[in-house]
């Protein structure tokens, strides 16, 4: 095979090339583009541009030139890579890196840098929500300072004042004291940026809820029933508080609802304004029967009985206490009765809950009295917890 | 053994041969664009011409500087003897390949 190669041509062309006349040419040659190649391409572009300008006007020619120059750019760069030598290739790589970095830096600067304060949001990220205050103690109101792009800035220098409505004490630093129920407007400002929020003073002195919560593992999440009361004992409905649980491996909070994860005991706590309430939460695992229950087990046995019907189970002898509870379904109006035979029991937390000692075993009965009206069958859960301690 | 040519290389070589003394980048580009109904970029044409020159199939010389080119010269190409042989070989190859074909879509039954 005969190869036609003229390796000396490039050298001849380089020496024959005139000195670069335009800035573009100088840039291309500095990048390492073949001098003759760059000269020819730029010369052809200039000549064609003049023709286009004569035929279609200078503006069209300008656009044509930009388009063609962009189309030629990859070939010029490739030529520089081919003929530029190691230094030329390094320069091309550097140039391409800069070309790629500039937009990235511009984007990053815009995306991540903070601008001047453009917006204030009092208390919450939801600008349309009112600010609810349930405490009568002095409370710090905070404002979020945002720039135009929504970046949070340090909330320093924000000044507050009462604007209108109910008489509420507001310091310049944003400490608010609600003594009486009522609505007021407070204004926050930082330089020329200002905002107003409605403050709903709803003092809460006391929070009340059930003495115990019983949950079944695998069952639906339940609302945590509670009631918030003002200093005069009246219910308060506008609330801003916090709910927490003692052991989130046993129960899980889902908003204001609670769900059992595993069998066990923990507590749930509600803190609203100046009141707080906490109560134990027992969770039980489902089982068809309490018979054979082991020490430490907590079982939930579904019960469905019509009027006049009864269920009976045998509990094994135990040195520890039994805790037996009839748990009503949420919508159930009536409750089945529970009785234990052979055990010594005291009431636990209501009339349907017992703490029982059964060292020789016991029988637990669940029954629904026969009633005159045709009530629907009772549906609920018998919860039995065999404690290891007497 | 013949030099292997790509489609655009052969087309550019033929255009240079056709244009004779007027074969420079723009003229080759217009010639090819008109015949192929395709808008070739200046860079693509010169890359091809330069490759042909490196293969020894074309040679080039600079014209007098022209004001319309910003004082730059045209780079005029001409086909070398090796280029002429390459064109001839390509034609023979094409004829050999087309032998037995009456039309592009219908083959002669064997």
Strand ranges, E, within A99-181: 117-122, 131-133, 139-140, 143-147, 152-153, 159-165, 169-170, 175-177
For residue A79, the cross-strand partners are: none
- 8 A C-beta contact, residue A260 and residue A216: yes
Q: Which of A5, A37, A79 sits opposite B56 (nearest CB)?
A: A5
- 8 A C-beta contact, residue B44 and residue B25: no
Predicted pLDDT at A28: 66
Predicted pLDDT at A165: 92
Decide if B54 touches A, using CB distance below 8 A. Answer: yes
Asked if B46's CB is within 8 angstroms of A40's CB, the reply is: yes
Q: Is the ipTM of this complex over 0.95?
A: no
User: For residue B88, is pLDDT > 80?
Assistant: yes
Average pLDDT of chain B to the nearest whole number: 87
User: What is the residue whose two structure tokens read 């400490």?
Assistant: A175
Decide if B44 touches A, using CB distance below 8 A. Answer: yes
Asked if B29's CB is within 8 angstroms of A39's CB, the reply is: no
> Two tokens at B88?
């001839």
User: Binning pLDDT at 50, 70 and 90, where does residue B28 land?
Assistant: very high
Q: pLDDT by residue for chain A (390 residues), tens digit each? A: 444 443 333 333 333 444 555 666 666 666 666 777 788 888 888 888 888 999 998 899 889 888 888 888 888 778 777 777 777 778 778 877 887 888 888 888 777 777 888 888 887 544 456 889 999 999 988 888 998 888 888 888 899 999 999 999 999 999 999 988 999 999 999 988 999 989 999 999 999 988 888 899 998 888 888 899 999 999 999 888 889 999 999 999 988 899 999 999 999 999 999 999 999 999 999 999 999 999 999 999 999 888 889 999 999 999 999 999 988 665 556 678 889 999 999 988 777 889 999 999 999 999 988 876 767 788 889 999 999 876
Asked if B55's CB is within 8 angstroms of A43's CB, the reply is: no
Predicted pLDDT at A23: 67
CB atoms within 10 A of CB B84: 13
Which residues contact residue A289 at a Cβ distance below 8 angstroms, ignoring those fewer than 6 apart? A301, A313
| Angstroms from B98 CA to nearest CA on chain A | 24
| Angstroms from B110 CA to nearest CA on chain A | 34
Predicted pLDDT at A11: 31
Which residues contact residue B86 at a Cβ distance below 8 angstroms, ignoring those fewer than 6 apart? A4, B2, B3, B5, B13, B57
Predicted pLDDT at A343: 92
Predicted pLDDT at A89: 77
Asked if A37's CB is within 8 angstroms of B70's CB, the reply is: no
**List of chain B residues whose C-beta atoms are within 8 Å of the C-beta of residue A68:** 41-42
Q: Are strands A193-201 and A131-133 parallel, antiparallel or unpaired?
A: parallel
Identify which has the larger pLDDT, B107 or A30.
A30
- Cα distance between residue A268 and residue A213, in whole Å: 9
**List of chain A residues whose C-beta atoms are within 8 Å of the C-beta of residue B47:** 75, 78-79
**List of chain A residues whose C-beta atoms are within 8 Å of the C-beta of residue B41:** 68, 71-72, 75
Supply φ then ψ for residue A85, to 5 degrees: 75, 180
Decide if B66 touches A, using CB distance below 8 A. Answer: yes
Please provide the size of chain A in residues: 390
Percent of chain B scored above 70 by pLDDT?
A: 90
């Amino acid at each position: 095979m005969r190869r036609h190669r003229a390796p000396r041509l490039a050298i001849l062309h380089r020496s024959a090339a005139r000195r670069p006349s335009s800035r573009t040419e100088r840039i291309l040659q500095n990048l390492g583009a073949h001098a003759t190649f760059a000269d020819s391409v730029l010369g052809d572009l200039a000549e064609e541009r003049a023709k286009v300008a004569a035929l279609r006007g200078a503006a069209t020619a300008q656009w044509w030139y930009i388009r063609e120059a962009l189309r030629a750019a990859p070939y010029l760069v490739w030529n520089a890579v081919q003929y530029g030598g190691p230094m030329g290739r390094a320069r091309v790589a550097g140039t391409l890196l800069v070309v790629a970095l500039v937009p990235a830096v511009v984007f990053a600067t815009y995306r991540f840098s903070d601008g001047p304060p453009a917006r204030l949001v009092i208390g919450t990220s939801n600008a349309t929500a009112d600010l609810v205050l349930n405490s009568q103690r002095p409370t710090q109101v905070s404002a979020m300072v945002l720039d135009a792009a929504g970046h949070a800035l340090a909330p320093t220098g924000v000044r507050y004042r009462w604007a209108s409505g109910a008489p509420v004490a507001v310091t310049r630093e944003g400490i608010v004291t609600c003594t009486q129920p009522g609505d007021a407007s407070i204004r926050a400002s930082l330089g020329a940026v200002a905002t107003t929020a409605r403050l709903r003073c709803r003092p809460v002195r006391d929070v009340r809820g059930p003495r115990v919560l019983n949950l079944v593992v695998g069952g639906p999440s339940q609302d945590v029933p509670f009631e918030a009361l003002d200093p005069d004992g009246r219910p308060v409905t506008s609330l801003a508080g916090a709910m927490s649980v003692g052991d989130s491996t046993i129960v899980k909070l889902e908003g204001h609802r609670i769900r059992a994860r595993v069998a066990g005991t923990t507590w749930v706590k509600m803190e609203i304004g100046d009141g707080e309430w906490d109560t134990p939460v027992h969770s039980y695992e489902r089982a068809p029967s309490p018979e054979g229950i082991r020490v430490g087990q907590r079982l939930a046995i579904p019960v469905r009985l019509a009027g006049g019907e009864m269920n009976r189970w045998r509990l094994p002898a135990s040195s520890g206490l039994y805790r037996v509870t009839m748990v009503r379904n949420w919508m159930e109006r009536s409750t089945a009765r529970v009785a234990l035979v052979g055990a010594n029991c005291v009431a636990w937390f209501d009339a349907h809950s017992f703490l029982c000692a059964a060292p020789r075993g016991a029988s637990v009965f669940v029954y629904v009295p026969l009633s005159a009206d045709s009530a629907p069958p009772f549906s609920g859960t018998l919860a039995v917890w065999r404690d290891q301690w007497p | 053994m013949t030099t292997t040519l790509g489609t655009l290389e052969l087309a550019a070589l033929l255009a240079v041969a056709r244009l004779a003394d007027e074969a420079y980048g723009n003229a080759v580009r217009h010639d090819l664009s008109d015949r192929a109904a395709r808008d070739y970029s200046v860079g693509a044409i010169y890359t091809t011409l330069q490759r042909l020159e490196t293969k020894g199939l074309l040679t080039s010389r600079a014209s007098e500087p022209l004001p319309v080119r910003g004082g730059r010269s045209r780079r005029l190409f001409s086909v070398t003897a090796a280029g002429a042989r390459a064109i001839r070989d390509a034609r023979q190859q094409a004829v050999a390949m087309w032998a037995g074909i009456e039309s592009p879509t219908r083959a002669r039954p064997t």
